[in-house]
Amino acid sequence: MKKKELDWEKLGFDYREIDKRYVANYSDGKWENGTLSSKSDIVINESAGVLQYCQQVFEGLKAFTTKDGSIVTFRPDLNAERMMDSAEVLQIPPFPKEKFLEAVDLVVEANAEWVPPYGTGAALYLRPFIFASKPVISIEPAEGYQFRLFGTPVGPYFKGGVNPLTLCVSEYDRAAPRGTGNIKAGLNYAMSLRAHIEAHENGFDENMYLDAETRTFVEETGGANFIFVTKDKEIVTPKSETILPSITKRSILYIAENRLGLKVSERPVKFEELEEFAECGVCGTAAVISPVGKVVNEDKEITFPSGMEEMGEVTKKLYDTLTQIQLGDIEAPEGWIRKI
C-alpha cells in the first residue's frame, strides 16, 4: 500500500486534516445509516446542545500498519462499549456497537495512505465523538445528534518521547465524587485546561490529580491512568469510581499477569505510598506507556528509583509487549486486534 509523503518519525500529537470521515445523524428517535464525507467543517445552529450545555462524548483509539503491510485497530469494541456508557450519563442516544465498528473500518480503509508505515512509531489516531446538534435553550437533552469519526496521524503524545516525565500534584480537582470523572466527555477536559496550562507554566509535563473528597488518594492525569511498580515487581494501579476506565490500563494488567507472570493489584493508592514504589508510568491510547520520573507536591519531591534518564525495567517490558501486540509482532490475546 502506498503511503502519503510525510516525515512520519517527526509527527507530534497534532490535528492534521485527512481525506475522509464518517458522519451519521440521529433524529426522530433513531440513528440513520452513516456515510463517508470529505467535509471537515460542521455547520450547526447557534443554540445547539453541544454549544450551550456541552452535551458531547468522545473516544480515542489507534490504527497501525503491521510488518506485512496490513492495517489493524486495537480493541475498538471496548471503545464502542465505553462510548455507550458515556452517552448514557449525558443523556445522549447510544451509538450502536456494530455501527461504531463499521465506522472505524470505513474510515481507516478510506484513509489507508494516512496510516503511518510500520516501524515509524506513529499511528493513525481515531477520534469518534457524538454531539448534540439540535437547539436547546432550557436545560434538557437535545432532540438531534451527530456521530462523527475522523482520523489524524500522530506521533508521541509527550514531546520528550520516552524521557521520564515530571508531574505536579494539581491543586484543582479533576472529578467530583459521584460526578462524570469515569466517562469520556469533553466537559471533563475543558475544566482541566487551567490546571494543564498552570502545570506547563510551572515547568511540569502533566498533573497528577488526587481524589476530590479526601485529597489523599491518587486518581489519574488529565489524559491517562497511572501504573506503579513495587520493589517486588508487582503492578499496582489506582481503583477509583472517578477515573476513566482506561482500555490501555486494562490491557496492561492482562499482559502483566498473563504474559509476564507479574502480580497485579487494582486498589486505592494513597499519595503517601508513592515513596515506596520503584517505577511509575502513565498509560492511555495517546500516552501509550510514558514513564514518570518525578512527582512534586508543594514542597515534597518524589523521584522514583527508576530515575529521570530511562524507563524503569518493568515499565519497559510492559511497553514492549503492548506495542508488539498492537503492531502484530507477537500474538495478541483473542479478540484484541481487528484487521481492516
Interacting residue ranges for ligand PLP, rule: CB under 6 A: 60, 220, 223-225, 244, 246-249, 284-285
Beta strand 21-27 with 145-154 is antiparallel
The residues, ordered by sequence, that sit 6+ positions from 215 with a Cβ below 8 Å of its Cβ are 173
- Candidates 106-114, 264-272, 280-288, 329-337: pick the segment binding ligand COI (CB under 6 A): 280-288
In 10 A of CB 150, how many CB atoms?
21
In the list ligand COI, ligand PLP, none, the entry touching 236 (Cβ below 5 to 8 angstroms by class) is none
Amino acid making up residue 165:
L
Instruction: Determine contact, residues 236/284, Cβ cutoff 8 Å.
Output: no
Nearer CB in complex with ligand PLP: 148/249 = 249
Closest distance of CB 288 from ligand PLP, Å: 9
Closest distance of CB 187 from ligand PLP, Å: 12
- Candidates 27-35, 92-100, 110-118, 283-291: pick the segment binding ligand COI (CB under 6 A): 283-291
Residues 219-258 that bind ligand COI (CB under 6 A): 223
Instruction: Determine contact, residues 128/94, Cβ cutoff 8 Å.
Output: no
Closest distance of CB 64 from ligand COI, Å: 14
In the list ligand PLP, ligand COI, none, the entry touching 220 (Cβ below 5 to 8 angstroms by class) is ligand PLP
Nearer CB in complex with ligand PLP: 136/247 = 247
Q: What is the CA radius of gyration of the chain?
A: 20
DSSP classification of residue 270: B
Q: How far apart are CA 228 and CA 53, in angstroms?
A: 37
Nearer CB in complex with ligand PLP: 133/240 = 240
Position of minimal CB gap to ligand COI: 60
- The correct pick among 36, 44, 45, 60 for binding ligand COI (CB under 6 A) is 60
Beta strand 123-132 with 56-58 is antiparallel
Closest distance of CB 78 from ligand PLP, Å: 7
- How many Å from the N-terminal Cα to the C-terminal Cα in the chain? 13
Nearer CB in complex with ligand COI: 1/193 = 193
Closest distance of CB 55 from ligand COI, Å: 18
Which SS3 state, helix, strand or coil, does residue 235 take? strand
Q: How far apart are CA 53 and CA 63, in angstroms?
A: 32
Residue 285 is a binding residue for ligand COI (CB under 6 A): yes
Of 32, 39, 81, the C-alpha closest to 61 is: 81
- The correct pick among 282, 286, 325, 337 for binding ligand COI (CB under 6 A) is 286
Nearer CB in complex with ligand PLP: 133/248 = 248
Closest distance of CB 321 from ligand PLP, Å: 15
In the list ligand PLP, ligand COI, none, the entry touching 225 (Cβ below 5 to 8 angstroms by class) is ligand PLP
For residue 148, give the C-alpha cell: 462523527
Q: How far apart are CA 195 and CA 173, in angstroms?
A: 9
Instruction: Determine contact, residues 113/63, Cβ cutoff 8 Å.
Output: no
Instruction: Determine contact, residues 207/173, Cβ cutoff 8 Å.
Output: no
Q: Name the site residues for ligand COI (rule: CB under 6 A).
A: 60, 223, 284-286
